[in-house]
Structure 1
Amino acid sequence: FPNDPIFRDTRQWWLHNAGPGSAYNGKLGADIHALDAWQITTGSNDLRLAIADTGVDPNHPEYQCVMPDGSMRIEKGLNVTLDPSTSFADSFGHGVMVAGVFAARTNDGWHIAESLGVAGICGGNGRDNYGCHLIPIKITRGRSGDATSFDIARAMVYSVECGARAMNLSFAGDGPSRVERLAMYYAITRGCVVSTAAGNQGFTPTKPQYPSAYAAEGLCIQTGATDFYDQRTTFSSYGPGLDLMAPGWFIWSTYLTYPHPISGAHQGYNRDSGTSYAAPMVTGTIGLLAAARPELKDTDFQHIIRESADDIGDPGVDQKTGWGRLNAGRALAAVSPDVGIWHDEVLGTVTGPVRTDTLMLTESGPGTFDRFREWHDATAYEVLATVAIPDSFVGPVRIWPRVGGTMTVRGDFRIPYFTPWSEIVAQDAHSFTLRGYIYRQSDATCRPCGDDAWLPLPPDQARFGFTVIGLVSRAPRSPAARAAAPLLRVTPNPMSARTRIVATAAGRVEIADAACRRVRAETLAEGAGFDWDGRDARGRALPPGLYLVRYEGVAGRSVVKLMKLE
């Protein structure tokens, strides 16, 4: 496993680098350890991953197929540009290759010719699992390879609406973009992670590349490129926000099965190099993580993936290679079934002023970001929250702040725009402490302002979102209990735009809100299911929060907690 020809002949070295004697005589083990990851999961038929690029080949056999539930694997494709054509077919030749890295079907043998066929990271097992659904979003007009910030932002919002857990964006530019940054914030706080390429500006490698530079603020994941010797490629940028590296040299992937308008006919497969092909390796790994642990969200993916990387540069985190080279196997092992994942929010306590200075803002945002642009004699206040670690966690835990749920900012008076920020300043076996900052305008400048004198929000609204992950103590189950299949399957969970609810036995399924008020009900046959779009029986949109999915039927009763994101 897998039996894809280009994997078997070792040209897909980035999945498994066989070292000397292989196709490229690389370094043994200088790969993403896909075989280790696939021992845990090969993806999920219920999962959606999106790509915003020049399009894909809609009929490529590595992408398109009929899924076990009868749906098509490529779904919800869209051209978001102003191009008169609504087609998302690739006429440039970039997106079709990028998509194959994470979405090509795995272990499905050869296609087009006996020597051709590749394996994708989230491509299933070739038997009962055909991998993730692919949502292609074309962001370039016609035969162009350029995209506007507005089309990139539209793709992010559309990915959220389609329920994608990640969106690959292998595009980079020199200029910052407010609309891209706001769309990233919208996406990550609603269940979709944007995976970006670091850029190929090796001649000016530290120059910021956007939107990947926003990874420094937790809004996306930024990936640079390595070769088959675990060295950074000379073209790979390492500007602000570099999280980690992944292979990006001599990458074999899918290509057009129809003639390219310039280069002519191809056989559906090709090779190329660039950070464009490193980013989708992280996208595929996000898909595997989401398949294994659907409750992961927000910056969980950034922390787990980069902190599981293999250190390949200077010892520790360094400027040129970040946390190291992607290790998908180690990332999956970090969220094994015996690991508990706790998400929560906590209100902070203002402990006192830190210093007074002038604060400059360049754009609007939540709270009082809209009221002033220049805050004279503004005072930064420290906000702290100490949280007890539940006794169910055994041994060491890993903790990080999340973008979603956090409403404090940096305390260095350098916040031209709103991005949530906090940090862990203390941790022991029993508790941890989060710290962030808020600002207050002086009375002389803003005497009648009341709560509006605070930025971004007054003290009673300063809060922190966080994740705790670690081994947990679980009650042992009897052999009979371990063998019993769940009566309800709800995926994805948490949900954004929609979720699939399936009953393994005939019965009635009801959805209730946290106050136990029924909002939707369906009677299902054995193995049947339905898609819930977050609306009640009258079609009215329901607010985000906790919902209960209850089954009662011939097999008994079951309840699943479902979290609906914003």
Structure 2
Amino acid sequence: MRALNFVRCVLLLAAARSGAFGQQVREVQLLAQPRLGADPRAVAQFLMAAGAPIHHTITPLNIHVVRVPAPAADRIQQALDRSGLFTFVEKDQVAHTMATPNDPDFPSEWHLAQILAPAAWDISTGSAGVTVAVIDSGADPAHEDLRSKLVAGWNFLAGTANTADTQGHGTATSGTLAAGSNNGVGVSSLAWQNPIMPLVVVDSTGYASYSNMANALTYAADHGVKIVNMSLAGASASATLQNAVNYAWNKGTVLFASAGNSASSSPYYPAACDNAVAVSSTNSYDQLSGFSNYGSWIDLAAPGENILTTNNGGGYGAWSGTSFSSPVAASVGALALSIRPALSASALVSLLEQNSDDLGVPGFDTSFGWGRVNAFKVALAAQNYAADTTPPAVTISSPAPNATVSGIVTVSGVATDNAGVTKVELWIDGAVSSTGTSPAFSFSWNSAGVPNGSHTLTVKAYDAAGNMGQASENVTVSNIVPPDTQPPSVAITNPADAAQVNGNVKITVSATDNVGVTQVSIYIDGILQYTSGSAPCTYNWNTKKAAGGQHLITAKAWDAAGNFGTATSVTVYK
């Protein structure tokens, strides 16, 4: 009989540590995102002068990672924040593994029967065309149940393509998600055919930084991966992580993340990020695991106790924790996408939620979210899914192509779709400026926010299936720009101070300026939630992902000269 170790394990994000992950922290990493339109040379020069030279940049998110001496970190962070050059500045966080040896008894792969995997396999065993990414400590390239499944990934610690496991946790989560199956050896997984892309962010001592996690997620999205598992959980919210999750989601990539093992209702991240799928853990009796986190931010549940999987260095072991319920849920997502590759991110998540096994109180609840995943129900629903693949058609009626414009420019037109338009966006030179929901769109764009010269206007329209259609045209901006030292005036007009909130809450911000507002950013508890290129703007805050108690809403607005104003904060209670 195999010697098996039972390990209760989850990756918990610790409070701020960064730089080298040694015993003594001498440097702190700051994450800084320049405001829209900020001159890159001015940003780099300011960072250098502040004693915070750019170490590297998370390019898809335009977030600079800078290293500063620990004693000066707070002072430098405040200086960067006051400069007006940055939308947000935050300390990098780190993650570490916590494992405790326990029961050596041999468990069966009960979880596959629980989610009706055998019935699902009669429909599909996955697809070699749907790669899954595992953001963790790497994967054992010699393991008999993994070596045929691994594809090229990246090591964000070493900056190389060596993705061998640094710590052991990644091999276990990889095997849970997509171990080789029907091969006469070892264990099975739901996703027999799906290749695994290992992305290494956890080092040999068990630490991983937020910046590397964000880098890995954007890397997966940029390489066409649609299913990503991140078995990490931490109590600190982060604008950098939220930016990365949104970036991936907008590319059709769904992040599955462990809820954490603290038996707590407090939100843990990245699971509690908007657009992430937060997965709690269940046992063989379909009860919430005693260690599992829970709360209004949970989306789905999956088996997470006694999960037999691959061990680093060979062999097999039984592991427990939401670190393992998350890849079980991700494997169901991979199976659905293998059956119906055209599913959008939102359609895929809806399919999983609507075809789960409802546990606890009827409907959504704080223990199981929408229910415990059911692979057979999801596979059947994916097989019968009537996909809408027709994108909206977009026509820009004003301004005319190649027009010369100045000041406030009205960008108007119409979007049409066979099933209905759900969202319309105005993009300026590849960056989103404004968002609306009306098919007959009319956006106000302040052209003073860009240099004089040629610029590209793009209007993108989306339908409920996630199909996107767009139209673009070039215009020439010609503005007379006088010196401007007056900052915008900003106010939060909704919700009211001291309001009680729940469900979806509209946060509305107004801003005015003597020349024109070019950017408005909304923050909740100091974390950037939304940025718009125009004012007024509205952000729909899903409080389901927020902890109970007091929350602070703030807002900032910038003009083209870089002047910025800050709104009087609003305190609300959930």
Please report the TM-score for the alignment, with normalisation by the length of structure 2. 0.54
The whole-number CA distance in structure 2 between the counterparts of 1:346 and 1:411 is: 34
Label 1:13 to 1:456 Cα distance change in 2 as closer, same or farther (>3 A): same
CA contact (8 A) 1:77 1:135 kept: yes
Aligned-partner Cα distance in 2 for 1:58–1:368: 44
2:319 counterpart residue number: 272
> 1:368 Cα shift?
6.9
User: Match for residue 245 of structure 2?
Assistant: 184
The aligned counterpart of 2:109 is 12
Does the aligned pair in 1 maintain the 2:176–2:324 contact within 8 Å? yes
Matched, 1:50 2:160: no
The question of whether the paired residues in 1 share the 8 Å contact of 2:191 and 2:335 is answered with yes
Instruction: Return the match for 1:209 from 268, 275, 278.
Output: 268
Does the aligned pair in 1 maintain the 2:181–2:189 contact within 8 Å? yes
Aligned to 1:40: 123
CA 1:145–1:240 in structure 2 vs 1: closer, same or farther (change >3 Å)? farther
Residue aligning to 1:136: 198
Task: Report if the CA contact (8 A) 2:136-2:199 is conserved.
Answer: yes
Alignment of 1:245 onto 2:301? yes
> Once the two structures are aligned, what percentage of the paired residues are identical?
28
Q: Which letter does structure 1 place at the counterpart of 2:199?
A: I
Q: Per-residue CA shift, 1:264-315, capped at 9, x if unaligned?
A: xxx5100010001011012111211111111112222221111211111112
Query: What code does the residue aligned with 1:210 have?
Result: Y
CA distance in 2, matches of 1:172, 1:452: 32
Structure 2 counterpart of 1:235: 291
Letter in 2 for 1:55: G
**Offset, 1:318:** 0.8
Corresponding residue for residue 513 of structure 2: 446
Q: Is the 8 A contact 2:107 2:308 kept in 1?
A: no
Change (3 A) 1:439 1:452: farther
Contact 2:389-2:467 within 8 A present in 1 as well: no
RMSD: 4.0
Aligned to 1:77: 153
Task: Using structure 1 for the length normalisation, give the TM-score.
Answer: 0.54
* Matching of residue 121 in structure 1 with residue 190 in structure 2: yes
Q: 1:134-533 residue pairs with structure 2 within 5 A?
A: 134-141=196-203, 143-202=204-263, 205-214=264-273, 217=274, 219-256=275-312, 258=313, 267-337=314-384, 339-342=386-389, 344=391, 413=495, 439=508, 441=510, 445-446=512-513, 448-449=515-516, 456=532
**DSSP-derived class of the 2:115 partner:** coil
The question of whether the paired residues in 1 share the 8 Å contact of 2:508 and 2:537 is answered with: no
Rounded Cα–Cα distance in structure 1 between residues aligned with 2:493 and 2:298? 23
Deviations 1:217-252 (A, max 9, x none): 3x2111100000000001111134210100001110
SS at match of 2:383: coil
Deviation of 1:92 (Å): 1.9
Shift of 1:463: 13
Task: State the alpha-carbon separation in 2 of the partners of residues 15 and 280 from structure 1.
Answer: 12
Report the equivalent of 1:524.
Answer: none
User: How many Å apart are 1:35 and its aligned residue?
Assistant: 1.6
Report SS of the residue matched to 2:111. Answer: coil
Query: Alpha carbons of 1:268 and 1:49: their partners in 2 closer, same or farther (altered >3 Å)?
Result: same
Aligned residues: 346
Distance 2:329 2:212 in 1: 22
Equivalent position to 2:183, from 78, 103, 108: 108
Matched residues in 2 for 1:438 and 1:273: separation?
A: 40
Which segments of 5 or more consecutive residues in structure 2 lack a partner in the other structure?
A: 1-105, 395-411, 414-429, 441-462, 471-491, 497-502, 522-530, 541-574
- State the distance in 1 between where 2:115 and 2:302 align: 7
- The Cα shift of 1:460 comes to 13
Letter in 1 for 2:280: G
Cα deviation code 1:39-96 (max 9, x no counterpart): 211111222111010111111111122xxxxxxx412122101x48763222422111
Cα deviation, 1:187-211, whole Å, max 9, x if unaligned, reads 1111321111111111xx1111011
Distance 1:453 1:172 in 2: 30
Where structure 1 has 5 or more consecutive residues not aligned to the other structure, the ranges are 1-8, 17-30, 66-72, 111-116, 124-130, 259-266, 350-364, 370-380, 387-398, 415-421, 424-435, 465-566
Contact map agreement 2:520 2:532 (CA 8 A) in 1: no
Tell me, what secondary structure is at the counterpart of 1:182?
Answer: helix
